[in-house]
Each structure stands twice: as structure tokens, then as C-alpha cells.
Amino acid sequence: MRRSLTRRDFLKMSGVGLAGAGLLGSAACGGSGGGGPVELTFWSWVPDINNEVKLFEKANPDIKIKYVNAGQGGDEYTKLRTAIKSGSGAPDVVQIEFQYIETFKQLDALVDLSEYGANDVKDDFAAWTWEQVSDGSSVYAIPQDSGPMGLLYRQDIFDQYGLTVPETWADFEEQARKLNQANPDIYMADFLADGGWFNGLMWQAGARPFEVSGNKLSINMNDPAAVKVAEYWGNLVEEGLVGTKPPFTNEWYTALSNGTYASWITAAWGPVFLAGIAGKSKGKWRAAPLPQWSAGDNVSANWGGSTSAVTNQSEYPEEATEFAIWLNHNSESAKMLAEKSFLFPTLDSLLQSDDFKNQTDPFYGGQKVNSVFIEASENVDKGFEWSPFQDYVYTQMQEQLQAAADGKVSFPQVMDDLDSNITNYAKDQGFKVQ
Amino acid sequence: MKQEGQPETAPPVGSQQSALARRKRLRQIIIPYVFLVPFLILFALFLVLPLAYAFWISIFEERLVGGSTFVGADNYLHALRDGAFWNSVRRMVTFGVFQIPVMLGLALVFALVLDSGLVWFRSVFRLGFFLPYAVPSVVAALIWGYLYGPTFGPFTQLAEYLGVPSPNFLSESLMLGSIANIVTWEFVGYNMIILYAALQAIPAELRDAGAVDGARSWQIALYIKIPLIVPALLLTCIFSIIGTLQLFNEPSILQPLARGVIIQSYTPNLYAYGLAFTNQEYNYSAAVSFVIGAVVVVGSYAFMLATNRGRISRP
């Protein structure tokens, strides 16, 4: 999940979560018998997730959850890694983004949940999300939310300059050129020097940078599909058809809200995020599927999204798994995550529910935005794998892609450099690189 | 110590007396250490022990695959040959050569002006200059990061309004200067206070004597005051050298604004941090940290040696 917390979220989180706590008495419900209640620690940065935690405690009086917000993304991972290294202090259940599961698996930090019945719920989740958290019949996390990719665009700018919603990347480039000729101050989009974003575009194009099997690793950061994506964006940047502002900065937020960009290539969490940072442009945005490499195709990819994993420091892996499954699988809890915390669901029943599909949002002129991203979720290309050291890969990508966006190196060169840097790193770390 | 009204308890026998004296001497030696114990405990716990631990892990190499092996000085040898690391050191030396004189020069001028009594509301100015130091450096970097914004930052907006070209403060060529500006803004006041305190300690007779001999105030400043506060100047200089080589907060905060410029190895400390917390190369990071420490020690010592010799050879 890439959506950053606002200050308001934090304030909300501190108050509301406690308010609804344990008002009702405990209904007798099965748990592991004997002894006092089991206490589990749970790390997550999802706003308001304490509400779902309370709901679980009510349904499972034998299990107490100690909820901790240990920071978002990288901040949490740093703490988690320190706890793993020191051998104590890790939570029982922890929020981990899809792309870091392999990284923590590599540290032997995650419990195989299939031992505790995780495969029972396999078919209830979107197939591609389950593939992301499992390896054969082993399961290392339960999917929570996802970020199938799509396009958000400014209807008003498109109308003003007579642009059409691009169905292919070639068309996207053409519209970008048309816009640039009509008004060079407005860019079709921003090139995001963000590991997750670029990775998503590589994913859609069919690139498979990593294949992991045990300690053997194949690295292909510069396979033809990845180079195709790099060259495409390199041309757009060089021609000045897209902006190159560093993403998720104040300057970038301002540019998104004041009409400097006619579109934002983003993920399913993007609509809510954008409404939060670009309130001024309310009603002017619309959603569309991601442009395609070949006309008539319908391929999407994923950027962001989280899971709940159980660490091997947990004394109660069975109860921890129960909680991880319940949190994301229980219909009430999953619904709350989707509707109150605006997480894009991974649960099929929710993705297919009319309530969710038909939700409209005035920020998008009353469009049923969810339905666009539900379709994207159905079309996420399967079989994408992550490296077992994704922090390193993302940091390298961000650094070098921004350098390319600033014109210091060529885009195809970046892919070659990334490939050789990452290969060297992997070899230094003892992997057998093929 | 003998006190009035206390009976003399000196024993008659000499040997007994010397035993007592010995015990007293022993006590005098021990007592200071008893008072130092709280410090020593904390010192050992939070400095010596972590350093020893860091050194211990720096002579191993732990890989993601294959576990931990003893490698002796390998990590250090690697650090000595690591181009990225030495580039970061070179960058900080360049930074210091320009930034430290500017910062200390400004601090000295401000201190002299305040000390001269030429300005009204002296305490207001003193506080004003010092205030940036009270702003946490992270916050300062955030503020300046906003001000530097290449499209919507106030400087750019102003330049656009005036119709002059606006420089991109976050570009590769200007970044070092932009960071230097933040650091200068933060620390001029701090250094000024140290120098001002030294100036206040100069005996009034010396200035009076100068004034009686007809020296103007700039002459008094140049020939009397500054030579007398040279030790304080050297102190601020050493602090600045150490601070420069350990620069971390400012580039770390500006990093998301210019990822292509502020790379992982932009400053030595940033590099050590990235090695540990991004690359998971804890052992190598520990070795790099020790090399940074060595560079700081060598740098400071070289500076002291150079300035000492200069002072001794002066007629």
C-alpha cells in the first residue's frame, strides 16, 4: 500500500479505534482451549484498522490483539528486520507489502501458513494475489489489499484540447504530443522515478526481472520487455511530453492538483489518494484502464498492496494465522477495510459485490471508479516474481531512473546498469545467479 | 583539613600516622572515581560497548545466503578501495572547504558587531541569530526543501514574477551549495554564541588601552579581539570539521526531492546508513563507519597540527 497517512488519519486512528472497544460481552466462540487468553501483537499502518481488531476480539474472546502502528512501509521493515536479527521483539502478525514477502522469506522470518489451514481460503481471493503470497502449496501471507493499475485523467483538459482516452501506449504518446503542441505548459503525465511504479509498467509489458528458486536466482532487468518500457519513457521524457518531478513530494502534489498533468498512471489506491491531495480538482478526474502495448489487449499489473504475515517469532502461530485470515477474509472485516480504510480488496466476493462495484465518487464526476479497477484486477498478469532483496532493487531503481529523468543517463543504459549492479549485489550476497 | 574546636586525634606512634596518611591518600585517589562511576557506566554502556560490538561485526561478513564468516580486515580493505565511499568523503571535503569559512566568518562578524555595542537591542539580535539553531535540523531541511522547490517554491515564484531566470537549487550543480546554505543558516548562531562568549571574556583594559592609543574600533577588533579569541575560533572550526564529515539529516531529508542527485553514497554517513538498512550489509556498514571515524580523527588532527605550527612559528 502506497497511500500515505495524513495527519487526520492519525488523529482518527487514536480516538475512534478505542471508542467502539468491547462494549458487548463475549459470545462463546471456539478458540484454543486452556489457560488464559492468548495475546498477539499486530503491526500495521492501515488507518482505523483497530476497528477490525476489536471486531475480531469480540468474535474470539480467547485471543487478545495488541495493535501497534510501527510506521509505514520502510520504517516498519527496518524495525521488523532489527527484531528478526536480534531474535526477539517481532510481532506475531505483521503488515508486509506484496513485493517484500520474498525479502522477508529470505530471512526465514515468515511462517508457512499452509500448516495452519491457510489454503482453505485460497479460492476466495483473487487468483493473482494468492499467487503473490504463495509458493507452490506453501503460503507466506494473507492478501489484504491490492493495487491493480489504471489511468486517471483530467476530463476537462482532455475536452479542452480534444484528446481521446488512449487505449494503447502508442496512442498515449500521440495524445501527449498533441497536448504538448497545443499547450507546452501542460504535460500528458509525470514520469515517476519510483521503483514500484516502473516495476508495474515492466510487469504489464511482460518483463520478468527475477526468478527465484531457493538460492538460485535469475536476474533480467534488461530483458526486451523491460528495455521496451524504458525506451518508451525515455523518448517521452526526451521530447518533453511528460514531466519528471520526483513523485510523492509537495511539488508533485501541487502539480497534480493544479492541472500541470493531464493524467496520472496509477493503481487502485490512487483514486482515494488523489482525492486527498488534489481536492481543488474535484469532479474533473475520470478513470480508465491502463493503455496497452497491443491494441485489443487487456493486460494490467500491480503496484502496491499489502498482506498480513505471521513471523516465526510468534509463540502462537496457529492463533496468529487465524487472526491474519479472519482480518482479511471475514466478510464484515474485509468490507470495513474496503469502505472505511479505502483499501482496494483482494477478496473475490467483495470485488464482485454490486455495492462495491457501483460505488460512485463525486471527485470523479460520479463515475463508478471501482469497476474500472476491478476489471484491472481481473487482468493482472500472473507469474510476476520479486527479488529476495527488494529494498536494494527499489533504491537502485529510484536513484537511476531519476538520474535518467534528469537527463544524466539514457533510459536503456539504466536497465543495463541496474542489471549489472543487482547481479553483482546478488553474487556478493551468496546467490547463484544464472 | 583541620577544624576549629575539634580535638587533635593524631596518634602518638609514627608508623600509625603514616598508615593513616596512606589511607587518606588512597581515599583521595578513589573518591573522584566514585563520583565518576555514573558517567563511566553510561559511557561504557552507550559508547564503548556499541563501538566494541560494531568492531566485532565489522570483522565478519554475513550474506543473505551462507550465513556469517570471519573475514578479518577484508571489509576495511574493501572500504579503502571503495570508490563510492571516497567520492562521498571528497564531496564533504569540498563542502567543508567552502562552507566552514563562510559560516565561521559570518559568525565572527556577527559576534564582533554584537560585542562592539554598536547595535541596539543586542539581546534581540543575539536571540534572532541563535534561533535557527533551536530549529531541529530535520525541520530546517524540510522548510528549505519547500523553499527550494523548482516550480512552486517561493524563490522560483519570485524569480518568475520579476521575470528573471530561476536557478534549480536541487540540481546536481547547485545541491551542495543548497545544503551548505541550510547548514550555514542553522549553525551561524551557534558558533556566534561561542565566539561572543569568548569576546566577552576579554579584559576591558585591553580595549581601553587600545582606545587610548587611538585605535579605531575595527583596529581593536582586528588586532586585539580576534587574536585573543583564536582558541575559540579553532574550537568552532574543529566542531565544524567533525560536523561536516558526519553530515546526514539535511541530505537525507532532501533526498526524496532529488533522488538522482542525492544518491545513496552522497555523504559518508548516508552511505553507511544505506548499507545497513537498505542493502542489509551490516558488517560492511560497520567497517565503513569506523573508516569515517578515522577520517574525522585524521582530519581534525591535521587541522590542529597545521594551526599549532602556524602559531608557534609566528614571531
| Residue ranges per structural domain of chain B | 84-138+168-312
Domain covering B84-138+168-312, topology: MetI-like fold (1.10.3720)
Q: How far is A397 from chain B (nearest CA, A)?
A: 10
Assign 3-class secondary structure to chain A: CCCCCCHHHHHHHHHHHHHCCCCCCCCCCCCCCCCCCEEEEEECCCCCHHHHHHHHHHHCCCEEEEEECCCCCHHHHHHHHHHHHHCCCCCCEEEEEHHHHHHHHHCCCECCHHHHCHHHHHHHECHHHHHHHEECCEECCEECECCEEEEEEEHHHHHHCCCCCCCEHHHHHHHHHHHHHHCCCCECCECCCCHHHHHHHHHHHCCCCEEEECCEEEECCCCHHHHHHHHHHHHHHHHCCCECCCCCCHHHHHHHHCCCECEEEEECCHHHHHHHHCHHHCCCEEEEECCECCCCCCCECECCCEEEEEECCCCCHHHHHHHHHHHHHCHHHHHHHHHCCCCCECEHHHHCCHHHHCCCEHHHCCECHHHHHHHHHHCECCCCCCCCCHHHHHHHHHHHHHHHHCCCCCHHHHHHHHHHHHHHHHHHCCCEEC
Partners of B166 on chain A (C-beta within 8 Å) are none
Whether residues B260 and A248 touch (CB distance < 8 A) is answered with no
pTM of the predicted structure, to 2 decimals: 0.87
Whether residues A389 and B64 touch (CB distance < 8 A) is answered with yes
Q: Please determine, for residue B313, whether its predicted confidence score (pLDDT) is greater than 70.
A: no
Q: Give the per-residue pLDDT at B309.
A: 65
Angstrom CA distances, B216 to B196, B211, B223, stand at: 20, 7, 10
Q: Give the per-residue pLDDT at A1.
A: 43
- CB contact A388 to B (< 8 Å): yes
> Which residue does chain B place closest to A103, by CA atoms?
B64
Q: Give the per-residue pLDDT at A144.
A: 97
Residues 219-248 of B with CB under 8 A from A: none
Per-residue pLDDT of chain A (434 residues; tens, 9 = 90+): 444 444 344 333 333 333 333 333 333 333 444 567 899 999 999 988 999 999 999 999 999 999 999 999 989 999 999 999 899 999 999 999 999 999 999 999 999 999 999 999 999 999 999 999 999 999 999 999 999 999 999 999 999 999 999 999 999 999 999 999 999 999 999 999 999 999 999 999 999 999 999 899 999 999 999 999 999 999 999 999 999 999 999 999 999 999 999 999 999 999 999 999 999 999 999 999 999 999 999 999 999 999 999 999 999 999 999 999 999 999 999 999 999 999 999 999 999 999 999 999 999 999 999 999 999 999 998 889 999 999 999 999 999 999 999 999 999 999 999 999 999 999 999 999 98
Mean pLDDT of B94-115: 95
> Which residue does chain A place closest to B66, by CA atoms?
A430
Give chain A's domains with CATH numbers. 7-143+306-342 (3.40.190.10), 149-302+361-433 (3.40.190.10)
Q: Give the per-residue pLDDT at B16.
A: 73
Q: List the grid coordinates of A190.
A: 509525470
Percentage of residues in chain B having pLDDT higher than 70: 93
- CB contact A251 to B (< 8 Å): yes
Q: How far is A427 from chain B (nearest CA, A)?
A: 10
Partners of B151 on chain A (C-beta within 8 Å) are 245, 251, 254-255, 260
Whether residues A430 and B66 touch (CB distance < 8 A) is answered with yes
Place of cell 471501482: A370
Q: Give the per-residue pLDDT at B8.
A: 52
Whether residues A245 and B151 touch (CB distance < 8 A) is answered with yes
- ipTM for the assembly: 0.84
Q: How far is A389 from chain B (nearest CA, A)?
A: 8
Q: List the grid coordinates of A400.
A: 537511476
Q: Give the per-residue pLDDT at B20.
A: 86
B173: Cβ contacts below 8 Å, ≥ 6 apart: none
The answer to whether B307 touches B234, Cβ cutoff 8 Å, is yes
Q: Which of B63, B64, B82, B253 to mutate to test the interface with A (most CBs of A within 10 A)?
A: B64
Whether residues A250 and B264 touch (CB distance < 8 A) is answered with no
State the Cα angle at A301 between A363 and A226, rounded to 5°. Answer: 125
Q: Give the per-residue pLDDT at B18.
A: 83
Of B66, B146, B278, the CB nearest to A392: B278
Q: Give the per-residue pLDDT at B314.
A: 45
Q: Which of A432, A141, A169 is nearest to B66 (CA)?
A: A432
Partners of A246 on chain B (C-beta within 8 Å) are 256-259
Residues 306-345 of A with CB under 8 A from B: none
- CB contact A368 to B (< 8 Å): no
Place of cell 521493515: A77
Q: Which of A260, A406, A427, A431 to mutate to test the interface with B (most CBs of B within 10 A)?
A: A406
Whether residues B263 and A78 touch (CB distance < 8 A) is answered with no
Q: Give the per-residue pLDDT at A274.
A: 96
Q: Give the per-residue pLDDT at B117.
A: 78
Q: List the grid coordinates of A15.
A: 480516538
Whether residues B152 and A406 touch (CB distance < 8 A) is answered with no
Of B153, B172, B278, the CB nearest to A391: B278
Q: How far is A398 from chain B (nearest CA, A)?
A: 7
State the Cα angle at A336 between A333 and A337, rounded to 5°. Answer: 90
Q: In what order do the strands lie in the sheet with A93-97?
A: A63-68, A38-43, A93-97, A306-310, A142-143
Whether residues A430 and B64 touch (CB distance < 8 A) is answered with yes
Of A246, A430, A431, the CB nearest to B259: A246
Partners of A245 on chain B (C-beta within 8 Å) are 151
Whether residues B172 and A406 touch (CB distance < 8 A) is answered with yes
Q: Please determine, for residue B60, whether its predicted confidence score (pLDDT) is greater than 80.
A: yes
- CB contact A403 to B (< 8 Å): yes
Partners of A81 on chain B (C-beta within 8 Å) are 277, 280
- For residue range B189-247, list pLDDT tens digits in order: 999 999 999 999 999 999 899 989 998 888 999 999 999 999 999 999 999 999 999 99
CA distance A234 to A224: 15
- CB contact B62 to A (< 8 Å): no
Partners of A71 on chain B (C-beta within 8 Å) are none
Partners of B149 on chain A (C-beta within 8 Å) are 250-251
Partners of B171 on chain A (C-beta within 8 Å) are 406
